[in-house]
Every structure is written in structure tokens, then in C-alpha cells.
A and B are shown apart, each in its own frame.
Chain A
Amino acid sequence: MGERRRVCVCTAQVPFVRGGAEQHVDNLVGALRAAGHEAEVVRIPVAWSREAVLPSALAWRLVDVPADVVIATNFPSYFVRHPRKVVWLFHQHRAAYDAMDAGWSDFDLSADGLSIQQTLTDWDTRVLEEAVARFSTSREVAARLARYNGLEATPLYHPAPLQSVLSAGDYGDYLFCASRLEANKRMDLAIRALAESGSGMRLVIAGEGSQRRPLEDLVRRLGLSGRVDLVGFVDDARLVRLFQEARAVIYPPYQEDYGYVTLQAFAARKPVVTTSDAGGVLEWVEPGENGAIGDPDPASLGRAIDRVAGARIQELRAMGERGYQRVRSLRWEDVVDTLMRAAGA
């Protein structure tokens, strides 16, 4: 190990929300401490309306973070100013980038929308350029950075939460997914695909979010009440069991940054069913090898479900094992070493 350093991991705080980014940051801090560094999380609250994003960015610009190294992770935390700023990019403000045309983006074609988007893009590029090194959580995030900002970043993969405690189990009669119930996670597509599938499988979805009620309505409308369980938030022990006893995992998000669900599925030796536009998930899933990929429509994804659901247990186990081989070498120690070397520390 190198010299003991004081490291601040900078991230946006979205009050009352806890998801993959929060776990990611906590695990990074834990890994830095395990490597012998002093590490803290620095959070500044952010609101996501387009009128609020520039002041949020400027707030980071106006504070000093006293540390040997800062590791900035997401918008707007990478606006932090520091001579040893390493960016490990989880994502930018996607509503202004790849999701600008999504229904939930408020960056429309009005004068205000265009002007704020232009300023945000310009500022993002400048502050990301400042970093002594740029990494991204996935090739997907790096590709967005190249396409929208003309900047390069090196993908740096890391283990998912619970990856070390997940292990092989039985192959039951349900497909499983753990996800925030938000529009971009497209649990509605998973439910519609189940309706199209001829497999008769059940679907268990763990997680909470703003889409819970619409999803419940959809399940009723499709007559799937006996086959789809929205089990809400579950603790880690139950989450591990749900992964281990699933037949396979289904995860069809739109342009996911990384997708812990995929890595957790593979740690539990489960094949993964996903879509051709799932972003970072596609860096792990190879059709026929460790999962199945459908187009982002219910019929196509339903056929992908059938391919996995109809496989013999031996085949499922082999696919799951090949998935596990893809993720087993991911180690936080390597991540910390890479980031700290890049910082020159």
C-alpha cells in the first residue's frame, strides 16, 4: 500500500432517496478505509429540476474540500475544485444528455430548456477536463461522455453490493428482479413480457419507487395477479435468498449505467434476461452464454424469457457459472489501487 491519504468521495445527495449510487459510494469509502486511507463522503443536496441544476453545480464550485485527494462520482459533485481530482463517473445529469427526449426529461426545445442544456453541457465538459484522471463505471458511461462531451474515460468495474455473500442455489419457478420502481428501470416491460411468454413462470420484483401503483394496476389489467409479486423493499438476507432460489433474473432497464442486478445475478449463478438497449448490462450478458437478450418490446422479451425458462437445469447452471466467471475477479482492492495511482497518491 502507498502512503496513508485523506480522501473525500464527493457525491450528490438526493434527499430521501437511496439506490445504487449511494451503495456504491459507501462501498468505495469502506474500501478506501480498508486500504488504510482516511476516507469520508462529502454530499451536497441536489434537486433535479432544470432551473435547479446550475445553482447545484455552482455550489460545488464554491466550496473547498480539504483533502489530499477527491474522488468525484456523479453530477454535480464533479464540479468540485481540487488539484488531485479523480472522476469516477457514475453518470451525468441524464435528463440533459442521452435521456433528453425521454418523457421524464424537462429539457425541452424551449429557449429556457436549450439555454440551460447548453450551459450545463459546457460547464460539465470544463470541470471534467480538469480532473487528473477520468474513469467511468462502465463502457456505456464512457461512450456517453465521448459522444456528448468529446471526452475520454476509462471504464473501471467494481463488485456489486452483496456480491461476496451471494452463491449458487436452486433454480426455482420464478424470474427475479431487484430494482427501484422507476420509469427508466422498465419493470412494466418485464411484466408485459411475462404476459407474452408461454413459460408460465412467475415474476418476483423487489424494490420500491414512484411506479409501484401503476405497476400494480398493470398486473391487474393483464390478469397476472397470481404470477407477479411486488414484494417491496426487502432486507439483505431475503434479497440473497430471492436471488439464490430464482430460475433466472430479468433486468430490462433503459440505457443502464452499470446495473448491479446483473452482477448479483451472476454471483448467484443465474442467467440474465435483458434487452438490446439496456446499456451497461450488455457489457456482461452474452446471449446463449450467460443469458438471453430480446428487443425492448414485450413479444421479443417474452421470447427471451422462454429461451431461459425452457432451458434444462444443467444448462441454467452452466450459463450461471459462465456469468459468475465474468464477475468473480472484480475486487475493491484493485479499484482503490487504480484510483489512488491515478491521483498520484
Chain B
Amino acid sequence: MRVGVLGEPWDWRAASAFLEGVARWVEVVPAGGGAETANGWILLDPAAEPPSLPGGVVVWRSGPRLPSETVRSALVVAVTAPGGPAPAGAIPFPWPGTDVRARLHLTPPLRCRWRRAAGLPPQLRSDLWDVTGPPDPEQATRILLSSAVAARGEAAVTALATGAPLVTDRATACQLRLRDGVEAVVVPVSRRAAALEELASDSVRAARLSRLGRRHAEGCLDHSRAVTAAVNALAGQPPPSAVVEVLGRALGELWAPRQTVAVSALAHRVASLLQATDGRPAATFP
């Protein structure tokens, strides 16, 4: 499946995150880069007109402009503030946000265990307060394995998505709609080291914040819903068999992470059952 991209978005960073998400499923090419053979379109400017309408169309809406008449039936993905409302009929794409489904949720006891497996110390407190922009791979790994994390902005989003107990500032809490003591501990900059230490040493509080932080990320910061809806609109998924649908829904409800050892083994086991009962080839699960 090849999808062409047209137009200039108002917000490149959010649009790039969206295109990266879509590109994990289908080939995404810019106009002039082979887009003439595309069988679907993503319009980064709602006013753009695709040269043809051979397949699905997704309109990326980050400003006040509305889709043109010719693409009114397209799926509209709208950039919103975390937890903010989307225009009627549009799928929200929260910014800042992340593909929460692609991230493992590690509770504090599991973080401790993973550190042990990696030869790291029993406690690991991470102060990423000064990280501006998205965390690099090393910082993201550190966030995943930390007992508690002090972070702001996009690093805080990553922390919430992975269930890292989070210490943050008021500006980030407002931006991400976090409640002090519920999804994160909100402190002034001068208090962050002490708050980090307190949180890392309180296992019950850390576990509660980990769970509620992750749930907040799933509800308000997740990109996967918009990306999945866009890919479905572009590719026009064939209707799955009833058995696959039931199993897929069960796995989806559990936010089963993609392609982990555990879920692959489970999918394999279920797939062999499907082959026996449904006469279909092995199914691919999310």
C-alpha cells in the first residue's frame, strides 16, 4: 500500500509524529516522490486537493481550515491539546503525545526486576528536568527503567506512557492535564530532588502513580487510535472473520503490546487454533 502526502501542515512536529505512525503500517511518499502511483492520500493541508481519489483519504487538520468539498467524506484527524475536544466527526491526535500502545507499561516492581536483569542498581532515580524536546533513545531507556523520573514536556509524556512514577512542574501538569498526587507529583524546581527521592522510596504511592499515569496517557496522550483509524481508512481493511474479531477485541482491550515475546507466543497458539477451526492462514494480531 502506497500513500501520498500533500500540502504543508501548520504544525510540522505533530504532523511528523502522525506520519511516522502511519509509515509503520503503509508506505508513505511525498508528492513528487512517487505519489502519482499512490492508492491513498494524506492531506496535510485541509484545502489541498488530491489529483485523484483512488482510495482512502485522510485529512490532517491542525488549524481552523476545513476540508474541501471533494474530500468531505475523508477521515479527519485533528490536532488537539491533551484531553481537549476534537472538532465534530474528527479523530483527536493529542499533542504532545505518543504512541502509548507501542510502549511497555512497567510498574515499579517490574522496573526493579528489569534493572536487576540489566545489572543496574536496585534504585535508579532520573532527573531529566532539563531535557527539552523528545528524549533520545538512551534517555527513553533510562525512563523505562527508573524507579522515579523528574521530567517536563515530552520526556514527561514518555514517562507517563511507560508508567514511570513522575515528578513534574506546574506548567507541564497544566499542559498534560495532570493532577498533583494522582497522575504525577507536581513541585517547583527547587523541590524536585527531594520529591524524586520520596517517590522512589514509597512503593505503594509509586505503584498508584504508575498505574494512573499510564491510564492518563492512554486516555489523553495516545496517538495509536488516530494512526489506526487512518490506516484503516487508507487501506480499507478486509472484514476479519468472527473468530479473529473476537480475539482481536480481547487483545485490544488489554492493550496487548505489539510483537513482544509474550504476545507473539500467545498469537501463535491462538493462530494454530484458528487454522484448525477457521481454515484461514495464521492471523496477525496487533
Contact = CB atoms under 8 A, between A and B. Distances in A.
Interface of A: 51, 54-55, 58, 61-62, 97, 100, 109, 111-112, 114-123, 125-127, 129, 143, 146-151
Contact of B246 (A62, A116, A126, A151): A62
B113 A150 contact: no
A21 B152 CA distance: 47
B263 A146 contact: no
Contact of A118 (B110, B212, B253): B110
A118 B106 contact: yes
B211 interface: yes
Contacts of A147: 109, 203-204, 207
A122 B254 contact: yes
Given A117-B110, A126-B254, A146 B207 contact: yes
23 contacts: A51-B265, A54-B262, A54-B266, A55-B270, A109-B117, A112-B262, A114-B114, A116-B261, A117-B113, A118-B110, A118-B260, A119-B256, A119-B260, A120-B262, A125-B107, A127-B254, A146-B208, A149-B107, A150-B107, A150-B208, A150-B211, A150-B212, A151-B208
Nearest to A148: B109
B13 interface: no
Interface string B246-277: 11001001111100111101100110000000
B146 interface: no
Contacts of B257: 119
A150 B262 contact: no
Interface in B2-59: none
Interface residue range, chain B:
20 to 34
Interface of B: 104-107, 109-110, 113-114, 116-117, 203-204, 207-212, 246-247, 250, 253-257, 260-263, 265-266, 269-270
B209 A150 contact: yes
Contacts of A146: 204, 207-208
Return the 8 tightest CB-CB contacts between A and B, nearest first. Answer: A150-B211, A150-B207, A115-B261, A119-B262, A109-B117, A150-B208, A115-B262, A116-B262
Nearest to B266: A54
Contact of B113 (A55, A109, A127, A151): A109
Given A125-B211, A146-B204, A147-B204, A118 B117 contact: no
Given A117-B110, A126-B254, A111 B261 contact: yes
B211 A58 contact: no
Contacts of A111: 261
B178 to A, nearest CB: 16
B207 A112 contact: no
A115 B261 CA distance: 6
Contact of B254 (A55, A118, A123, A148): A123
A109 B113 CA distance: 8
A150 B216 CA distance: 14
B117 A122 contact: no
